[in-house]
Amino acid sequence: MFLLKTFPLCEPAVLQLLRQFSTNTLPTLTLFTKDPCPLCDEAKEVLEPLKHRFVLQQVDISLPENKVWWDRYKWDIPVFHLNGQFVMKHRVDVVLMDKLLQDAETHQT
């Protein structure tokens, strides 16, 4: 039996709860990044209005287990893949991202 505690929820907590139950239907947006990465931080801010439409997965390319991604993207981060397919690098194109998310949403049904 699933039991929810009753307490005031702020919007981020509600979004987290909704994401937890809907991650199997949302597309996965993978951000290839490292720390520090000011352009990556900027890209995440630009994506903020769209964040309810995807699950963000971050891959730190500086970790030893991600050497293949380091070799591929070390000069290009941030790099984004949507559902495993390369979609953009360096800066977020919001119009393109919106179209790609619409396409992903259409093909889910």
Contact present, 79 and 68 (Cβ < 8 Å): no
Would you say the C-alpha torsion 71, 73, 75, 78 has a positive or negative sign?
negative
Q: What is the pTM of this model?
A: 0.75
Instruction: Decide if 15 is inside a domain.
Output: no
Residue 78 and residue 37 in contact, taking contact as beta carbons nearer than 8 Å: yes
CATH code of the domain covering residue 46: 3.40.30.10
Binned at pLDDT 50, 70 and 90, residue 2 comes out as very low
Structural domain boundaries enclosing 34: 27-108
Separation CA 55–CA 35 (nearest Å): 20
pLDDT in tens, 4-29: 444 444 455 555 555 555 545 899 99
